[in-house]
């Protein structure tokens, strides 16, 4: 039985570069259109500044970067879901559920990031003053 998939090389720098370009343009387009993504990015900058000022440990900074990356990644996935669902003008129950579930995933990640931030930063802020 012959495969119907095109015969592609396992690895190609040209394809790798293209995938980075596509990813970059997806992030750029999302930043232009998505208010919540911009809010998350603003908080990321503020948290990085606070991390430097309060001199958090490398381990704490790693945790901050991981939870921040999770929130921003999920916001991009949510944007993809919303745009894919919105192609169809008729919103079904399933489409609404997909959009709501994507938003819920971002909310849970954001709440988790806030809790982690409070655990790391509150003691540092108390010690700072």
Q: Is residue 56 part of a domain?
A: yes
Q: Is residue 13 part of a domain?
A: no
Digit-coded pLDDT (tens) for 1-47: 555 656 667 888 889 999 999 999 999 999 999 999 999 999 999 99
- Give 13-63 as a DSSP string: HHHHHHHHHHHHHHHHHHHHH-HHHHHHHHHHHHHHHHHHHTT--HHHHHH
pLDDT at 2 (0 to 100): 55
Digit-coded pLDDT (tens) for 100-118: 999 999 999 999 999 999 9
- Residue in 60, 75, 82, 94 annotated catalytic: 75
Q: Is residue 29 part of a domain?
A: no
- Confirm whether 75 is a catalytic residue: yes
Task: Provide the domain count of the chain.
Answer: 1
Question: Which residue range(s) make up the domain with 84?
Answer: 35-128
74 pLDDT more than 90: yes
pTM for the model? 0.82
CB atoms within 10 A of CB 110: 20
Q: Is residue 27 part of a domain?
A: no
Mean pLDDT confidence for 62-72? 97
Q: Minimum mean pLDDT among 63-72, 79-88, 94-103: which range? A: 79-88
pLDDT at 88 (0 to 100): 67
CATH number at residue 51: 1.10.287.3610
Q: Is residue 99 part of a domain?
A: yes
Contact assessment for residue 34 and residue 71, using Cβ atoms and an 8 Å cutoff: no
Q: What is the DSSP letter of 88?
A: S
52 pLDDT more than 90: yes
Q: Is residue 4 part of a domain?
A: no
pLDDT at 21 (0 to 100): 95
């Amino acid at each position: 039985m012959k495969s119907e998939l095109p015969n592609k090389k396992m690895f190609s720098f040209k394809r790798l570069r293209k995938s980075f370009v596509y990813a970059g343009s997806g992030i750029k387009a999302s930043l232009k259109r998505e208010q919540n993504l911009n809010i998350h990015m603003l908080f990321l900058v503020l948290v990085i500044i606070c991390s430097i000022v309060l001199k958090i440990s490398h381990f704490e900074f790693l945790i901050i970067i991981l939870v921040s990356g999770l929130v921003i990644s999920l916001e991009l996935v949510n944007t993809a879901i919303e745009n894919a669902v919105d192609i169809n003008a008729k919103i079904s129950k399933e489409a609404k559920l997909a959009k709501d579930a994507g938003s819920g995933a971002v909310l849970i990640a954001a709440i988790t990031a806030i809790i982690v931030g409070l655990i790391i930063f509150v003691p540092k802020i108390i010690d700072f003053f």
